[in-house]
Amino acid sequence: MRKLSLLFAGALMGASAMSLVYGTPGSAANAAGSETYKQLAIFGDIFERVRAQYVTPPDDKSLVENAINGMLASLDPHSSYMNAEQAQDMRVQTKGEFGGLGIEVTMENDLVKVITPIDDTPAAKAGVLAGDYIAKIDGEEVRGLTLNDAVDKMRGLVNTPIKLTILRQGADKPIELTVVRDIIKVKAVKFRVENDIGYMKITSFTEKTYDDLENAIDTIKKQVPDDKLKGYVLDLRLNPGGLLDQAVSVSDAFLNRGEIVSTRGRDPKDVTRFDAKPKQVDDINGKPMIVLVNGGSASASEIVAGALQDLRRVTVVGTQSFGKGSVQTIIPLGENGALRLTTALYYTPSGKSIQGKGITPDIKVDQPLPPELQGRDLTRGESDLKGHIKGADESTTGSGSAAYVPPDPKDDLQLIYAEQLLRGQKTDPSFPPNPQKAVLNQ
């Protein structure tokens, strides 16, 4: 599976599976016992000996950061320390607006390959084309750099220029382009009309997701008369998650009642429930909907799929989802960055934990791999992560499945199956679901 990166002033929409809620600095902590302070004294002694006696002078800041991350990594795969730069990157990503060029890129043949320039962005206006290879960034060779390194080189302030040296098929010499960085508003929801079906793909849950979803629904309604619209496909495949509140808002758009999700912390009394707003009809007027999931559907996307499935609002099609059912609180540490700490697990309306299990589709539809990917393991799942928190409903089967979606919809068997269900060309006992048989936590 190609490793893709969205470049917006060098910001990467990472494929980490996480839901975010924001904490505040200065959170209270329990006082440590005397034995704990003895252990901390040992740490201090080792730290000083390393500084004084290691064969080469170590960087103090790096030592401390690695020690902190070592402590957090021993807890679970999703708790970590972010330095000031990483914390800022995280805030930028979740905001859904980036200062940059507006191109989607990957690494190929040791060069940065442009997958596509986003319409009406600096890159598109400057003449960057899909298929272009970026060979130099401000005169520096791209060869030898990782994708992340190359992206870092393209970071910069809004209204600052960057010079790209591009290799283009058919051109007899390299092309020099100067692009002026600008604010790029990333669409968290991509949508289109498939004749009589509205297709909506949520790529991540940023601050813009719910607004983008409402715009997609409104546009589809205008393009297809209500009496002609068979229903909707909500594609959550390869969606790594994002903001918890956005997952709740997206779920609420398709519901008119019921609990969406609950989170439970260490204290048995620490339970938070999120409910749909009572209303006569949901935002798609009760039209049938299919939700697509696979091994790349994690965290916030599993909240949405689990809520809509348990309340019998949708039929879920695809393969087992990733199985990340934990909530990370982002605790700001001022100029020192932020702490990302797992503070709760979330549960679907039926009271089931997704952690280490994932969402099991109502209708399993496998997506074959193309010849060039056959033999490679594209399976993704929380249960495979070292040190993951074992979920209450986790079994030996584990979670996850192949995280692959064909680039051409004509090869997308899961999407084709969903559309055939909506059009009545295929039938299944799971479709349409019966809301009267919603599975609720008692």
Q: Catalytic positions, please?
A: 299, 310, 324
Provide CB contacts within 8 A for 41, sequence distance 6+.
none
The CB density around residue 26, as the number of other CB atoms within 10 Å, is 10
The CB density around residue 233, as the number of other CB atoms within 10 Å, is 24
Q: DSSP letters along 173-237, please?
A: S-EEEEEE-EEEE--SEEEEEETTEEEEEE--B-TTHHHHHHHHHHHHHHHS-TTT--EEEEE-T
d(C-alpha 275, C-alpha 432), whole Å: 23
d(C-alpha 22, C-alpha 441), whole Å: 27
d(C-alpha 132, C-alpha 111), whole Å: 10
Between strands 197-202 and 231-235, the pairing is parallel
Sole residue written with tokens 């899909």: 130
Q: How many residues does the chain have?
A: 442
d(C-alpha 126, C-alpha 15), whole Å: 29
Q: DSSP letters along 309-324, please?
A: HHTTSSEEEES-----
Q: DSSP letters along 251-300, please?
A: HHHT-SSSEEEEEE-SSTT-EEEEEPPP-SS-TTTT--EEEEE-TT--TH
Provide CB contacts within 8 A for 255, sequence distance 6+.
276, 282, 307, 308, 311, 313
Sole residue written with tokens 């905001």: 95
d(C-alpha 431, C-alpha 440), whole Å: 19
CA gyration radius, the chain: 24
d(C-alpha 199, C-alpha 210), whole Å: 16
Provide CB contacts within 8 A for 35, sequence distance 6+.
none
Nearest CA among 176, 122, 181 for reference residue 156: 181
